Chains A and B, each alone.
Chain A
Amino acid sequence: MNFEEIKSVLKGKTAGIAGCGGLGSNSAVALARTGIGRLIIADFDKVDESNLNRQYFFYSQVGQYKAEALKENISRINPSVKVEAHIIKLQPADIMALYKECDIIIEAFDKAEMKQMIVETVSEKMPGMPIVCGVGMAGWGKNELIKVEKFDDIYVVGDGITEVSDETPVLAPRVCTVANMMANTALELLIGEMK
């Protein structure tokens, strides 16, 4: 498939992105650059200076809602992407309502209990909907531990073991590696395997 063919398939696709932090902002930008037709993004939080070590925002955007700031950044990269931005702390009913028309959902929360909540909601209430999650991307180095594991329609990307802590902060290189692997997994599911 050449890039024009890829873009023509992707143009008709919608990805839901749950959370606009390190995983969500970077995977959204990767999908926007590749030519996804529509992104439905959601986050309740505002950009903080401490987020700039890994999240796709600029210093001038500190204090803005992440969902709105990300929409603005995507429009500057690829204005043909339709971005629906929701300022909301997602609960199961919102996930089912906002993401029902999606071809794929990207789980991009930071808290383990929120990751569990969305994966359980999608598995139980949205059968057949693929969901790509990021699990274990704190710290640095250890590229060789990062992998993708498939459990039916759940795709888990990360090392699976390195939780964020004082000694293992979340930093751009490893978080963006996982975010881009998540976007790459989404791309494969949306346009098919590379021949």
Chain B
Amino acid sequence: MNITLNNREETLDTNKEILSIAELFELKKFSFKNLVVKINGTLVKRDEYQSAYFKNGDKVDVIHMISGG
């Protein structure tokens, strides 16, 4: 599956037609806390990570917030 992840073209190693955000994190080995996630510009909250899906060609943003300021 080819998506735009954080403004970069990304090929995901999967045979599935659609993937959830939780599956993306597993595939990419993301284990960060405090993420802001969007699919095609729409916010995906933490309790929607299992139920929010994206497909080939979609734009996914995963912004990792860290402390300091």
Q: Could you tell me which A residues sit within 8 Å of B by CB distance?
A: 19, 21-24, 108-113, 115-116, 119-120, 123-124, 133-138, 149-152, 154, 156, 160-164, 170, 175
Q: Could you tell me which B residues sit within 8 Å of A by CB distance?
A: 6-7, 33-36, 38, 41, 43, 45, 61, 63-69
Question: A132 to B63, alpha carbons, bound, how many Å?
Answer: 13
- A137-B36 in contact (CB<8A): no
- B61-A151 in contact (CB<8A): yes
- B69-A123 in contact (CB<8A): no
| Closest residue of B by beta carbon distance from A137 | B68
Chain A hits for B35, CB < 8 A: 116
- B36-A112 in contact (CB<8A): no
CB B31 to nearest CB in A, in angstroms, measures: 14
Chain B hits for A170, CB < 8 A: 68-69
- B43-A110 in contact (CB<8A): no
CB B48 to nearest CB in A, in angstroms, measures: 11
- B63-A135 in contact (CB<8A): yes
- B38-A151 in contact (CB<8A): yes
| Closest residue of B by beta carbon distance from A55 | B69
Chain B hits for A124, CB < 8 A: 43
Chain A hits for B6, CB < 8 A: 149, 151
- A22-B69 in contact (CB<8A): yes
Question: A162 to B36, alpha carbons, bound, how many Å?
Answer: 17
- A138-B38 in contact (CB<8A): no
- B64-A111 in contact (CB<8A): no
Chain B hits for A164, CB < 8 A: 67-68
Question: A116 to B64, alpha carbons, bound, how many Å?
Answer: 9
Chain B hits for A137, CB < 8 A: 68-69
Given contacts A149-B7, A151-B7, A152-B41, contact A116 B65 (CB under 8 A): yes
Provide 19 A-B residue pairs closer than 8 Å at the C-beta atoms, listed in order of the A residue: A110-B67, A111-B67, A112-B34, A112-B65, A115-B65, A119-B36, A119-B65, A120-B43, A134-B68, A134-B69, A135-B65, A149-B6, A151-B61, A151-B63, A152-B61, A154-B36, A154-B63, A156-B63, A163-B67
Question: A119 to B7, alpha carbons, bound, how many Å?
Answer: 18
- B64-A160 in contact (CB<8A): yes
CB A75 to nearest CB in B, in angstroms, measures: 23
* Closest 8 A/B residue pairs (Cβ): A164-B68, A110-B69, A112-B34, A163-B66, A115-B65, A112-B65, A138-B68, A23-B69
